[in-house]
């Protein structure tokens, strides 16, 4: 199979994003960029590295299989009875064709960019979307459901797909894939595909700290252990179904979401430090669990993918990435609205989402998703070579 190069031919609009990535990397490592010429030289180096990485992966990752919450849901919630939806304007206004798809974003989400970068399709479709079929899902599919979590009690809040149901849909997918590709080829696809899991924020912000149920049963630390146990069981079940390349994602700095800043009364809209501390602690527990579990699962590569630090670099130094607003979102007032709160004709919605880190009070913009996708690919994907 010939290597794919099209995703490496970045447009001039995309190149500043990559330049910001390089600058951020060097600033983070105490290197000083003195001239634009130096920066362009660094871009050339990154371009060659990216080309080498893409060529290496070409043909080796036949599909990306995704589980999780709204960070990776491409529209599954459109087809279940829940209010946790975003299949209406202004969501999707910067997506191909300017149409809302059910992604909680103005455009693409991180997994779409990852798929494109690996030479697969430019987007990863939602499994429940009837406009796609197994021929589309053979190269990538997401079973994710916005507002869900590890904890079944989290998915019950807004009646969305719990993690166990996503796994049931994946089993159904395997049956369809074997019928479409044939048993032998489908087995190869299943074993060589990349499995991405992005979930957990809702368990804390939309469940534990929102309702008295779990917080009356568990301390924060014990609830983290409870969730980590569910994550471990899920990964083991995935492995039992044939998955061999698994990336388990951690939590972002959830205390810096505009919604949490807006409710952090008396601090002038600062990040909620407690929530960020909980994210760091939970990520540490997941990391240790992954390290131990990877030794127990034969013939597999299990990697913990931590979004906290790269996202925090954007929040602490937004101008280095071309952002102007980090504390408020683009949609509506930028403080509280998401989902149906982001109305089509709200006069306060921004005109250029690329200036904002967040699209709504809970979710990043397409530009942020692109930057995060590149950062996580750089730190995680080489482990799967």
Catalytic residue numbers? Answer: 70, 360, 363
What whole-number distance in Å separates Cα of residue 9 and Cα of residue 335?
37
Q: What are phi and psi of 65, to 5 degrees?
A: -110, 125
User: How many Cα atoms occupy the beta-carbon half-sphere of 315 within 13 Å?
Assistant: 22
Interhelix angle 366-380/308-316, rounded to 10 degrees, is 140
- Total number of residues shown for the chain: 385
What's the number of CA atoms in the CB half-sphere (13 Å) around residue 168? 5
Which whole-number Å values give the CA distances from 250 to 123, 277, 287, 288, in the listed order? 22, 13, 8, 12
Closest CA to 277 of 254, 259, 261: 254
Between helix 163-181 and helix 220-240 the angle, nearest 10°, is 10
Neighbours of 272 (CB within 10 A): 21
Cα→Cα distances 57→51, 62, 112, 285, Å: 10, 10, 16, 30
Whether omega before 332 lies within 30 degrees of 0, making that bond cis, reads: no
Mode of pairing for the β-strands spanning 301-305 and 64-68: unpaired
Q: How far apart are CA 154 and CA 176, in angstroms?
A: 29
């Amino acid at each position: 199979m010939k290597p794919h190069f099209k995703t490496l031919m970045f447009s001039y609009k995309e190149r500043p994003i990559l330049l910001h990535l390089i600058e951020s990397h060097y600033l983070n490592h105490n290197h000083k960029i003195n001239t634009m010429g130096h920066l362009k030289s660094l871009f050339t180096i990154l371009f060659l590295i990216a080309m080498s990485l893409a060529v290496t992966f070409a043909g080796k990752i036949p599909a990306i299989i995704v589980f999780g919450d709204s960070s990776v849901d491409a529209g599954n919630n459109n087809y279940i009875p829940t209010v946790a939806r975003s299949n209406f304007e202004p969501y999707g206004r910067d997506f191909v064709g300017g149409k809302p798809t059910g992604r909680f974003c103005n455009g693409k989400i991180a997994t779409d960019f990852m798929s494109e970068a690996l030479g697969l399709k430019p987007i990863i479709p939602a499994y429940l979307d009837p406009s796609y079929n197994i021929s589309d899902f053979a190269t990538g599919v997401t079973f994710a459901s916005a507002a869900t979590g590890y904890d079944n009690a989290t998915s019950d809040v807004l009646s969305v797909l719990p993690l166990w149901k996503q796994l049931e849909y994946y089993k159904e997918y395997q049956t369809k894939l074997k019928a479409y590709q044939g048993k032998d080829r489908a087995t190869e696809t299943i074993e060589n595909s990349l499995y991405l899991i992005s979930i957990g924020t809702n368990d804390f912000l939309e469940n534990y700290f929102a309702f008295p149920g779990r917080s009356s049963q568990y301390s924060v630390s014990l609830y983290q252990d409870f969730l980590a146990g569910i994550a471990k069981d899920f990964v083991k079940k995935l492995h039992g179904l044939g998955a061999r390349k698994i990336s388990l994602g951690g939590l972002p700095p959830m205390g810096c979401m505009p919604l949490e800043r807006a409710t952090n009364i008396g601090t002038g809209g600062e990040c909620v430090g407690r929530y960020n501390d909980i994210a760091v602690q939970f990520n540490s527990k997941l990391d240790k669990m992954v390290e131990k579990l990877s030794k127990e699962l034969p013939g597999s590569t299990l990697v913990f993918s931590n979004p906290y630090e790269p996202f925090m670099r954007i929040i602490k130094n937004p101008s280095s990435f071309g952002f102007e607003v980090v504390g408020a979102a683009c949609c509506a007032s930028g403080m509280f609205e998401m989902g149906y709160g982001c109305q089509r004709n709200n006069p306060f919605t921004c005109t250029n989402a690329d200036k904002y880190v967040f699209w709504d009070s809970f979710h990043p913009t397409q530009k942020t998703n692109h930057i995060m996708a590149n950062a996580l690919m750089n730190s995680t994907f080489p482990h799967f070579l």
